[in-house]
């Protein structure tokens, strides 16, 4: 693995001021894992917050010295990258409830001395934003030059622009949506059902049993993967190719073992995920996705909901993304235009479905680069 | 429940001539459940075979006296219906490996005296067609006026036109495809994974344990349901509506219980299916779907594959079907046109996704009705 940022070391930030949650509960104290790249300038005007999606973390870019893994958006963030760490100070935060070091279901509940498990509160996108605001406070950042995210990360960026309008100069929402559709919720619910019905789930309290619901997690991830890729991309990558040893006959085996390449790929992805991801976190984060709907408090009127924003917007979608299709981004853009907000919208012709937001595509990256050049000028980065 | 056919009683047909299967094994003897409607004419020229999809059966129309259930295509088949049983003799056959009375994994293996379970052979669409041909033989039907099916049933109709060209006057392929895409196979594999990883599956030999992998079946069915409905249809039917008692607050509960209507619907469908369907049958039938690919033996050249056909074709697809999209039907139609076959193609603008082929849509039914009027004239029905 390689990264122009080299090794980066996350910090664990402890917060002991209670965080009031949207569900009415509160977390008395919590930790957040944070990683930063670049240097905060004297005016503290060059900070950019990167919000992560379902299975990602604070480890946005560079190489983690423990796992030796490259960050999930390393092609976007770094010296000379579209989000240039020579000019900007970039912060990645692992969200509450996630399983990469921040306080979540695997953490010990101080009240019981045992892992929270199923008793970890249901967390929302808005809760994450409040928690991230405290990270900004800790760095003395009054206003972000930009808050940016893809997919669920884009929802957080949008929520920032609504909840802390004075603290976000630019809001960058990529491959996202102002709310899940019934079909999106349906896919989430199937994934959760797979986890819940795994006997190793034990109602969410599997840590004490020394097991984890691997079968359920595997199925959840396989479903996810289908929705991240486009139909065309799957056809190009796998088609109906059979999984065969070099030189073997291209004939059916008539069995339930792996027969097609696409099966092998899905099983591999599912197995890998089941090892490193936490099932309670999967439930929590998919539920946060379901619940996000800033227009709900305005009788479904997105334009009314977005009236609170003051940021400049950059919205991007990808033509073959069927999870959060361009139409969902256009819905957001239309509402912003009605409000006469400054908004740039790009619909990028890319074959890779929802995953495109993570991939290195020159047209996409050039647009982000241009936006950050504009932002750099504005904030004197 | 109501049906203009009234009560209909299936018959169990026993075959004791071994059936050679595509996987190299053979079934020494087997039963098929068969239901018929209308009267076979003296020339035996008015017979129509209806082929069923994943979870359906021989019970195509009328009311089953035991279950009191109406057949799955009762809106299509009956006196005065698009396929008019006053003119045609219609046969429904429950496919081998299915769980509605025909020989399948739940049946006793004569060699062991125990249910076949995981030892039931992998069955293909072509195997089904051979088995159905013996039903035709039993009725003395040399040539079907038409073989018709939707979805997987459409694949069987197409296979008939290839394997027994002299025995099919008209081939009617509805909401189907000449082969599954990588995405189609991927969805099948996720469903199978859910079943396989259910501890109550016991490697397919759960009958002796007195259990069934309900959790896995439930998830499999939920995934299926998402692919049967269109995104728009789900939005119209459920949207983001909350599941609430009449007059209750339209506010989130922040819980993992059923929160949205679409979750309630999916759970209900999954639970119902898990009670009546057999898990081994689910594996077998999805595998038959995966394997179907008549062009495979012709280096993927569908036109070359279809050269064996002599039937007249009727092909229909539905605009919002994303499981087997219109493009898949067009692929078939294009190949048939290249061969200068007589083919009628209808792309029906319907909001209901893949399920549309089962629903009562006037434009769709009128086209089928017209086709059968033409067939009736040809075969003197």
Contact, A13 vs A29, CB < 8 A?
Answer: no
**Do the bridges between strand B83-84 and strand B312-318 make them parallel or antiparallel, or are there none, so unpaired?**
unpaired
- Angle, to 10 degrees, between the axis of helix A279-291 and the axis of helix A214-228? 40
Q: Which two tokens stand for residue B342?
A: 């007589």
Asked if the Cβ–Cβ distance from A197 to B216 is below 8 Å, we say yes
Pick from B175, B111, B166: which is nearest to B133 by CA? B166
* pLDDT recorded at residue B381: 86
Beta bridge pairs of residue A7: A63
What is the predicted pLDDT for the residue at B237? Answer: 95
Q: Using CA coordinates, name the residue in chain A closest to B234.
A: A182
Check CB contact under 8 Å for A124 and B260: no
The reply to whether residue B260 touches residue A185, judged by beta carbons under 8 angstroms, is: yes
Tokens of B154: 């459409």
Nearest to B321 by CA among B226, B199, B230, B190: B230
Q: Which residue of B has its CA nearest to A193?
A: B219
Which of A377, A370, A322 is CA-nearest to residue A172? A370
Give the separation between CA A77 and CA A32, rounded to whole angstroms.
Answer: 21
Residue B196 in marked binding region: no
On whether the CB atoms of residues A97 and A120 are closer than 8 A, the answer is yes
| Exposure on the CB side of residue B292, measured as CA atoms within 13 A | 31
A190/B219 CB distance under 8 A: yes
Chain A to chain B Cβ contacts (< 8 Å): 156
Question: Can B67 be counted among the known catalytic residues?
Answer: no
- Give chain A positions within 8 Å (CB) of B198: 197, 215
The per-residue pLDDT for A109 is: 94
Distance from CA of A230 to the nearest CA of B (A): 8
Of A151, A161, A230, A329, which one is the catalytic site residue?
A: A151
Q: What is the pLDDT of residue B248?
A: 82
pLDDT in single tens digits along all 381 residues of chain B? 689 999 999 999 999 999 999 999 999 999 999 999 999 999 999 999 999 999 999 999 999 999 999 999 999 999 999 999 999 999 999 999 999 999 999 999 999 999 999 999 999 999 999 999 999 999 999 999 999 999 999 999 999 999 999 999 999 999 999 999 999 999 999 999 999 999 999 999 999 999 999 999 999 999 999 999 999 999 999 999 999 887 887 899 999 999 999 999 999 999 999 999 999 999 999 999 999 999 999 999 999 999 999 999 999 999 999 999 999 999 999 999 999 999 999 999 999 999 999 999 999 999 999 999 999 999 988
- What is the tens place of the pLDDT at every residue in A167-197? 999 999 999 999 999 999 999 999 999 999 9
Q: Is B197 in Cβ contact with A219 (below 8 Å)?
A: yes
Model confidence pLDDT, tens digit, residues A69-105: 999 999 999 999 999 999 999 999 999 999 999 999 9
Catalytic residue among B151, B176, B230, B329: B151
Is A374 annotated as a binding-site member? no
3-state helix, strand, coil split of chain B in percent (to 5) is: 40, 15, 45
At B284 the pLDDT is 98
Which residue reads 């379970």 in tokens? B117
CA distance B168 to chain A (A): 28
Residue B52's nearest CA partner among B71, B69, B65 is B71
Separation CA A162–CA B11 (nearest Å)? 66
- Cβ-nearest to B192 among A199, A254, A256: A256
- CA distances (Å), B289 to each of A49, B187, B358, in order? 47, 11, 19
Sign of CA dihedral B358, B364, B366, B369: negative
Chain B: residue whose CA lies nearest to A282: B256
Q: Do B254 and A186 touch (CB under 8 A)?
A: no
Of B219, B254, B270, the CB nearest to A23: B254
Q: Is B186–A215 a contact, with Cβ atoms under 8 angstroms apart?
A: no
Is B199–A197 a contact, with Cβ atoms under 8 angstroms apart?
no
Residues A226, B262 contacting (CB under 8 angstroms): no
Residue from B211, B240, B241, B253 to probe the interface with A (highest A Cβ count within 10 Å) = B240
B254 vs A contacts (CB less than 8 Å): 22-24, 121-122, 124, 291
Q: Which of B24, B239, B254 sits opposite A122 (nearest CB)?
A: B254
Measure A203 CA to nearest chain B CA, in Å: 11
What is the DSSP pairing of strand A26-27 with strand A30-37? unpaired
Contact A241, A328 (CB under 8 A): no
User: Is B161 in the active site?
Assistant: no
Q: Contact B223/A222, CB-based, under 8 Å?
A: no
One digit per residue, the tens of pLDDT, for chain A of length 381 reads 689 999 999 999 999 999 999 999 999 999 999 999 999 999 999 999 999 999 999 999 999 999 999 999 999 999 999 999 999 999 999 999 999 999 999 999 999 999 999 999 999 999 999 999 999 999 999 999 999 999 999 999 999 999 999 999 999 999 999 999 999 999 999 999 999 999 999 999 999 999 999 999 999 999 999 999 999 999 999 999 999 887 887 899 999 999 999 999 999 999 999 999 999 999 999 999 999 999 999 999 999 999 999 999 999 999 999 999 999 999 999 999 999 999 999 999 999 999 999 999 999 999 999 999 999 999 988
Residues of chain B neighbouring A235 (CB-CB closer than 8 A): 181-183
Cα separation, A247 vs A229, whole angstroms:
29
Q: CA torsion, points B102, B106, B112, B118, in degrees to nearest 10?
A: 110
Cβ contact A220:A282 at 8 Å? yes
Place of tokens 């994994």: B105
Q: Per the CB < 8 Å rule, is B182 touching A267?
A: no
| Token digits of residue B139 | 């009725």
Please tell me which residue in B74, B233, B321, B361 is annotated as part of the active site.
Answer: B321
Phi and psi at residue B41, to the nearest 5°: -75, 170
pLDDT of residue A244: 87
Mutation for A interface: B26, B123, B254, B293, most A CBs within 10 A:
B254
Chain A residues with beta carbon closer than 8 angstroms to that of B192: 256
Report the Cα B145 to chain-centroid distance in Å.
20
Taking CB atoms and an 8 Å cutoff, what residues of chain A touch B226? 183, 186-187, 190
Instruction: State the smallest CA–CA distance between residue B271 and chain A in angstroms.
Output: 11
B184 contacts: CB under 8 Å, gap ≥ 6: B177, B289, B290, B323, B324
Determine the pLDDT at residue B171: 98
Q: What is the SS3 assignment for A345?
A: strand
Residues in contact with A271: Cβ distance below 8 Å, sequence separation at least 6, in sequence order: A218
Other CB atoms within 10 A of residue A18 CB: 12
d(CA B360, CA B86): 20
pLDDT of amino acid A245: 81
User: Does A219 sit within 8 Å of B194, measured CB to CB?
Assistant: yes
> d(Cα B155, Cα B149) in Å, to the nearest integer?
7
Three-state helix/strand/coil letters over A317-341: EECCCCCCCHHHHHHHHHHHHHCCC
The verdict on whether B352 is a catalytic residue reads no
User: Is B287 close to A192, i.e. CB distance below 8 A?
Assistant: no
**Is the Cβ pair A186, B266 closer than 8 Å?**
yes
Taking contacts as CB-CB distances below 8 angstroms, the residues of chain A near B223 are: 190, 223
How far off is chain B from A113, nearest CA to CA, in Å? Answer: 23
A45: left (phi over 0), alpha (psi -120 to 50) or beta: alpha
Q: Which residues of B touch A198 (CB under 8 A)?
A: 197, 215
Q: Give the span between the Cα atoms of B211 and A199, in whole angstroms.
A: 14
Nearest CA in chain B to A297: B251
**Which residue of A256, A283, A292, A320 is the best one to mutate when testing the B interface, meaning the one whose CB has the most B CBs within 10 A?**
A256
Query: What is the per-residue pLDDT for A248?
Result: 82
Residue A183 with chain B: CB contacts under 8 Å: 226, 229, 231, 234-235
Q: Answer positive or negative: Cα dihedral of B258, B261, B265, B266.
A: negative
Q: Which residues of A touch B194 (CB under 8 A)?
A: 194, 219
Q: Under a CB-based contact definition with an 8 Å cutoff, are residues B109 and B119 in contact?
A: yes
* A299: closest CA of chain B, how far (Å): 11
């Amino acid at each position: 693995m390689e990264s122009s940022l080299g090794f980066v070391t996350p910090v664990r930030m402890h917060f002991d001021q209670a965080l009031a949650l949207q569900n009415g509960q509160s977390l008395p104290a919590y930790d957040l894992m944070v990683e930063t790249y670049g240097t905060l300038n004297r005016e503290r005007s060059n900070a950019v917050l990167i919000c992560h999606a379902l299975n990602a973390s604070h480890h946005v870019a560079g190489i983690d010295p423990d796992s030796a893994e490259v960050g999930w958006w390393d092609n976007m963030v770094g010296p000379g990258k579209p989000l240039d760490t020579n000019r900007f100070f970039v912060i990645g935060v692992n969200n509450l409830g996630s399983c990469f070091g921040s306080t979540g279901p695997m953490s010990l509940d101080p009240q019981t001395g045992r892992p929270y498990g199923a008793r970890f509160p249901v967390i929302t996108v808005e809760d994450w934003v409040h928690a991230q605001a405290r990270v900004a406070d800790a760095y003395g950042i009054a206003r972000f030059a930009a808050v940016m995210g893809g997919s669920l990360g884009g929802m957080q960026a949008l929520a920032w622009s609504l909840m802390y309008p004075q603290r976000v100069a630019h809001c960058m929402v990529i491959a996202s949506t102002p709310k899940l559709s019934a079909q999106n919720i349906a896919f989430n619910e199937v994934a959760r059902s797979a986890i819940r019905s795994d006997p190793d789930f034990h109602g969410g309290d599997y840590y004490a049993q020394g097991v984890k619901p691997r079968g359920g997690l595997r199925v959840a991830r396989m479903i996810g993967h289908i929705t991240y890729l486009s139909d065309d991309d799957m056809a190009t990558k796998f088609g109906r190719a059979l999984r065969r040893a070099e030189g073997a006959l291209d004939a059916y085996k008539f069995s339930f073992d792996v027969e097609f390449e696409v099966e092998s790929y899905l099983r591999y992805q599912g197995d890998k995920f089941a090892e490193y991801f936490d099932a309670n976190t999967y439930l929590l984060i998919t539920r946060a996705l379901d619940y996000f709907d800033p227009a709900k408090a305005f009788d479904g009127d997105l334009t009314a909901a977005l009236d609170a924003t003051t940021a400049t917007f950059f919205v991007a979608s990808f033509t073959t993304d069927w999870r959060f299709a361009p139409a969902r981004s256009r819905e957001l853009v239309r509402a912003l235009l009605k409000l006469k907000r400054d908004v740039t919208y790009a619909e990028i012709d890319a074959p890779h479905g929802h995953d495109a937001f993570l991939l290195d595509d020159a047209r996409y990256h050039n647009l982000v680069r241009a936006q950050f050049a504009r932002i750099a000028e504005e904030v004197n980065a």
